[in-house]
Amino acid sequence: MKLSIVIPAYNEAESVGETINELVKVLSDRKIEHEILVVNDNSRDNTLEVLESLAAVHPSVRFVTNAGPNGFGYAVRYGLERFSGDCVAVMMADLSDSPHDLIRFYDTMVAGNFDCVFGSRFMKGGKTIDYPFVKKIINRIANAIIRTVMNINYNDTTNAFKLYKKHTIEGLKPFLSPHFNLTIELPLKAIIRGFSYTVVPNSWTNRKYGESKLKIREMGSRYFFILMYCFVEKYFSRGDFVKKW
């Protein structure tokens, strides 16, 4: 089963090289057929030049540029329309997500034939390294609200690091979120629409370079909008979007 990794990158020239080199090494050691698709989100630094150099060295690496509109959600969506694998993971360009966890996700999907594999940093075996305290508190409150409103057990919906089969991605369209709220739109739709999933622990490590693109003060209402959309679909759509096979 070919694995695609979609990586959105905005001004990640300092980080993306280390991330891709580590991914290629781990996946090649395991001999997993793969492609790494980096979406350059109209970066203003030399991210594009770095990607050109990486693609020249690694045959499994390719990149596309999202000229706009821009934003995390738009960049991921751009990649989700263009990957070629049988399954696809969304990972960050700053190596906050572990390539070794990706192997665990992939092996779990293959062994259990799951439609989705979700990560949790807050279950037994999961961990966070250098997670900002205030951000962590907000994260736990937000996830508690999502669990309560949607009546689900998954405790890390806002975790961007997840793996989906290609037919699952097709079954979750159309996508609505232009920003980081895409991280909750995808798993909530997958759960509501009846796709099979499991949750495995994963680690998260704060970035070495640059600054986080997530602006918490800008995201509250956007997360709330997607949460309410998914709530309405779950309780009022009468199963119109549920997986049919």
User: In CATH, what class is 3-236?
Assistant: alpha beta
pLDDT of residue 239: 84
Closest by CA to 146, choosing from 226, 242, 237, 239, is 226
- For 213, half-sphere exposure in the C-beta direction (CA atoms, 13 angstrom radius) is 20
Residue 235 makes CB contacts below 8 A (sequence gap 6+) with: none
The pair of three-digit structure tokens given for residue 36, joined into one six-digit string: 């790494």
Residue 10 exposed, middle or buried by CB count within 10 Å (0-12, 13-18, 19+): buried
pLDDT-based confidence at 210, cuts 50/70/90?
Answer: low
Closest by CA to 161, choosing from 63, 44, 21, 19, is 19
Give the number of other CB atoms < 10 A from CB of residue 212: 13
Rounded Cα distance, 117 and 27, in Å:
18
Give the number of other CB atoms < 10 A from CB of residue 70: 16
Tokens 């781990």 correspond to 26
- In this prediction the pTM is 0.93
Tokens 């969506």 correspond to 77
pLDDT in tens, 134-161: 889 999 999 999 999 999 999 999 999 9
Enumerate the domain spans of the chain: 3-236
Coil, helix or strand for 34? strand
pLDDT-based confidence at 243, cuts 50/70/90?
Answer: confident
Q: Residue 215: pLDDT above 60? A: no
Rounded Cα distance, 102 and 110, in Å:
12
At what angle are helices 16-29 and 47-57 packed, to 10 degrees?
Answer: 20
Q: Residue 209: pLDDT above 80? A: no
pLDDT in tens, 160-203: 999 999 999 999 999 999 999 999 999 999 999 999 999 999 99
The pair of three-digit structure tokens given for residue 136, joined into one six-digit string: 């962590």
Tokens 């990560």 correspond to 119
